[in-house]
Amino acid sequence: MNMPATPISTKPRKLAGATVGIPPRQMDFRLSAEGARYFYDNNATATLFFAMLSAIFPPGELFFMDTVRHYRDRVTDPVLKAKISGFIGQEAIHTREHERLNELLAARGFDVMVAQKGVERGLKLLSKLPPSQQLACTAFMEHFTALLGERLLIDEGFRAKADPEMIGLWQWHALEELEHKSVAYEVYELIGNSRTERLLSYPLVVAALLPPILGSWLWMVAKDGQALNWKENRRGLTLLLGRKGFVTRILPRMGLFARKDFHPDRHHTAALEKEWREKLFGENGMLNAAFRNREALAA
């Protein structure tokens, strides 16, 4: 007797990362080629800092994904497996969207390739280290990007100075850095969590990446004809590196990574993440128009 065929569900299966609060959101930012050239406070120095950051994200995030993926087969816990899937999914989409942004910035005349190539060379040096040390470096850099993301989301005065069209991409990226901030560290805990390797991450990352980061930023300012614009350079540096600057405020907390009891989740950001998920992707979310896979994440 022929049994009736089992109907095939057409409902999309919820992505693994979404089940543990790390949803890989497919975004499609359509930034205007005619947007403001200096998109942060109409200041070249600060704008070029963020252009430099965007340039280094694609190679940096590829390094992060590779170092975590190296140990993926050792993970047996289903929750951590799902977190890794979400982490890799989010980082891959960050890479794509920043590559698109970098094309736009290049079209506006910003030499983003100098920063990208310089950081690629620095990361190539780090990739010669033992895999566990590479993962420790990733966990250290993920600590930094999570602090950057948190600062961006809590500092309303800083955000208000950004071009309204441009800031959305950075807010989305900042939220997802907080959502997956603990993944690389939890994988590192699984393979041993050597405090010596964590301490070594500081000089290794600084030596490999700080010279190309600072050098490319200075190059971009000079190439844009702003090297002798003392007033605007001072204003931009104050915004970023002054006593209450965007970067300055997070530097004291970088030392937490060396503590014996360090874990990213010891610094609670769940309420901030919830607030910004609603602001960006809620019923009247600011980024709903660019959000392409809501159904897959909510299935």
Q: Is the distance from CB of 287 to CB of 172 less than 8 angstroms? A: yes
Per-residue pLDDT of the chain (299 residues; tens, 9 = 90+): 455 554 544 555 677 899 999 999 999 998 887 778 999 999 999 999 999 999 999 999 999 999 999 999 999 999 999 999 999 999 999 999 999 999 999 999 999 999 999 999 999 999 999 999 999 999 999 999 999 999 999 999 999 999 998 999 999 999 999 999 999 999 999 999 999 999 999 999 999 999 999 999 999 999 999 999 999 999 999 999 999 999 999 999 999 999 999 999 999 999 999 999 999 999 999 999 999 999 888 76
Give me the pLDDT at residue 35, please: 79
120 to 56, 57, 60, 124: CA distances (angstroms): 8, 10, 8, 6
Give the single-character DSSP code of 162: B
pTM attached to this predicted model: 0.93
Map out the domains of the chain as residue ranges.
39-271
8-state DSSP, 240: H
Count other C-beta atoms under 10 Å from residue 204's C-beta. 20
- Per residue in 73-97, pLDDT (tens digit) is 999 999 999 999 999 999 999 999 9
Q: 39-271 sits in which CATH class?
A: mainly alpha
- Give which of 206, 201, 209 is closest to 262, Cα–Cα: 201
Q: Would you call 8 helix, strand, or coil by DSSP?
A: coil
Mean model confidence pLDDT for the chain: 94
Are 175 and 276 contacting, i.e. CB atoms less than 8 angstroms apart?
A: yes
Whether the Cβ atoms of residue 187 and residue 84 lie closer than 8 Å to each other: yes
User: How far lies 238's CA from each of 124, 144, 220, 232, in Å?
Assistant: 32, 20, 18, 10
Written as six digits, the tokens of 128 are 């010669």
Cα gap 251→8, rounded to integer Å: 53
